Amino acid sequence: MVAMAILLSGALLLGSVVPAKAAEERLVKIGNLAAMTGALSTSFLPGIQGERDYTTWVNDHGGIDGIKISHLWEDTKAMIPKAIMAFRRFKEAGVVAVFDIDVGCVLALLPSYERERIPCIWINAHVPGTITKPQWNFAAFPGWNGVGLAYSKWIKENWTGADLPRVGVIFQDVAAGWDMCDGFKLAADQGYCQLVGYEVVPLFGAIDTSVEWLRLSSKKPDWICVEVYGATAVTCIKDAYRLEIQRKGIELAATPLVLAENYIYKIIGPKQCEGWYKFEANASPRDSEADVPGIRNVNEAAKKYRGREPDDSTMLYVMGWVHGMVMIEAIRLAIEKVGFDDLTGEAVRDVLASGIIKDFDTGGLCRAITVSEREPCFLHALKPYQIVKGKMVSIGDYVEVPFLHAAK
C-alpha cells in the first residue's frame, strides 16, 4: 500500500508538471509547399532550403521573443494536385502562412488562401490572375512582365549600337513565360528594343532545343533572353553552347532564378555558361562579409545546417533566406499587434497588406524591403551580373522593376 501510494503520488506530480510545461511551449506553425524533387527542383531547391534554414536559425537564436517556429513542409514536386492536398493538411495542422514557389500552384490555390484565411509568400513573380482583392499571396517580384520591361531598358541603356537592340526571347510554355514575353513586347512598343521573335519550349521533358535556338538566331538578334527552369534549363543552356550561339555575335541573358550557381559550377559547367548575363535581386554567398554584412549569417547557417562553404551555396539560397526574413517579420508584427493567443493567418496577411513592413533592412542581402496590398511583392529591383572567367561578377547598380499588373 505504501508503494502504491508513492506511485500514485508520482503520477499526480507528473500530471501536474507535464501540462504546465507544455503550456509554456509556444509555437507558430508555417507550411512550405516545397519542390524538393522533380524536374523543377534543380532551380528551386536552394531557395526552399534558404527558407527552412532561416526559420531554424531564428529558433536557434531564441525564436520570436521566445516563440518558436514550427516549419512544416511537403514535397509537392511543383505539381498542383500534390500542392492542393498538402495545403489542406497544413490548414488542419493550424499554420498561419505558407511558402510556395510555383506560379501554377499559386494560381490553383488562390481560392483556398482566401477561403481559409491563410496568406502565401512565394519565390516567383506575379502573372495575370495572381493580383486579387483582397490580396492573399505576396510574391518576390512585381511581375514577369515588369522583369521583361526592366531587362529591355537596361539593354537599351547599355547598348552602343546605332539602332535599337534586336532582342529575341526563349521561354517555357507557362503563365510566367508568356507574361515575361508580354514585357518585352511592351518594351518594343515603348522604344527600348526591337523584338525580333520568340520561341516556346515545354516545361518538362525537353531533351533538345536546337530547333528553337537556330530558328531564333536566324532572325539576327543582338540579344536572346531566356526564362527556362529545371531540367529544361540545362538542355537549353547546353544547346546554346553546342550550337555556338555566342559566336554569332549574340549576347545571352537569363532572367531571375534561371542561371543559379549550382547550374554554373556543378551541373552545366562554367565554360558553357561563360559570358552569360543574368539579373538577380540579392547578393551572392560569395560576397565578402565586409561588403555585405548579412552574408555572414547566411554562410554560418549554410555551414551549420548544410555543411556548405560559401562557394557551395547559391544566390537562390540567399533569396530563400530573404523570404524567410519577410515571413518571420510579418509574424512578429502580427503577434505584436494582436498577441500570441489571437494570432491567425488573417492577422499575418493584414501585416503584409497594410504596408507596415517598409524599408525593412536585410543586412545588405538585397534592397530594403517594402510590401503592401497595393504592390504585393518585396523585391522591387534587380541587379545585373555576368559570368566572367567562371565567376559571377556584378556589372551595375540595381534596376527598378515596375509593377504593371492590376487586380481582375
Residue closest to 49 by CA, chosen among 298, 265, 357, 380 = 298
Looking up cell 547550374, which residue turns up?
A: 263
The pLDDT value recorded for residue 288 is 60
- What backbone torsions phi and psi does residue 279 show, to the nearest 5 degrees? -110, 140
DSSP secondary structure, 365-377, as one string: SBSPB---SSS-B
Reported as a pLDDT band with limits 50, 70 and 90, residue 21 is very low
User: From residue 398, how far is each of 121, 224, 283, 385 by CA, in Å?
Assistant: 23, 21, 11, 10
Reported as a pLDDT band with limits 50, 70 and 90, residue 1 is very low
Reported as a pLDDT band with limits 50, 70 and 90, residue 408 is low
The pLDDT value recorded for residue 38 is 83
- Of the two residues 184 and 406, the one the predictor is more confident about is 184
Q: Where are the beta strands (DSSP E) in 256-380?
A: 277-280
- Predicted TM-score of the model (pTM): 0.90
| All structural domains of the chain with their residue ranges | 144-282+381-400
Is-contact 284 46, C-beta < 8 A?
Answer: no
**Least confident among 1-10, 74-83, 296-305:** 1-10
Looking up cell 507557362, which residue turns up?
A: 174
Residue closest to 137 by CA, chosen among 126, 152, 153 = 126
**Percentage, residues of the chain above pLDDT 90:** 74
CB atoms within 10 A of CB 397: 8
Reported as a pLDDT band with limits 50, 70 and 90, residue 313 is confident
> Tens digits of per-residue pLDDT, 24-64?
679 999 999 998 898 788 788 889 999 999 999 999 999 99
> Tens digits of per-residue pLDDT, 220-269?
999 999 999 888 999 999 999 999 999 999 999 998 888 878 788 788 88
User: From residue 229, how far is each of 124, 182, 222, 310 by CA, in Å?
Assistant: 12, 19, 23, 23
Please compute the mean of the pLDDT values over residues 385-404 and round it to a whole number: 91
**Percentage, residues of the chain above pLDDT 70:** 93
Answer whether residue 147 shows pLDDT above 70. Answer: yes
Answer whether residue 6 shows pLDDT above 60. Answer: no
Please compute the mean of the pLDDT values over residues 153-177 and round it to a whole number: 94
The pLDDT value recorded for residue 292 is 81
- Enter the C-alpha cell of residue 251: 549576347
Reported as a pLDDT band with limits 50, 70 and 90, residue 16 is very low
* CATH superfamily name and code, 144-282+381-400: Response regulator (3.40.50.2300)
> Tens digits of per-residue pLDDT, 98-144?
999 999 999 999 999 999 999 999 999 999 999 999 999 999 999 99
Listed in sequence order, the residues at least 6 apart from 387 whose beta carbon sits closer than 8 Å to its beta carbon are 259, 264, 270, 273, 274, 275, 276, 278, 393
Answer whether residue 12 shows pLDDT above 50. Answer: no
Answer whether residue 3 shows pLDDT above 60. Answer: no
Is-contact 136 349, C-beta < 8 A?
Answer: yes
For the chain, the straight-line distance linking the first and the last C-alpha, in angstroms and rounded, comes to 75
Reported as a pLDDT band with limits 50, 70 and 90, residue 86 is very high
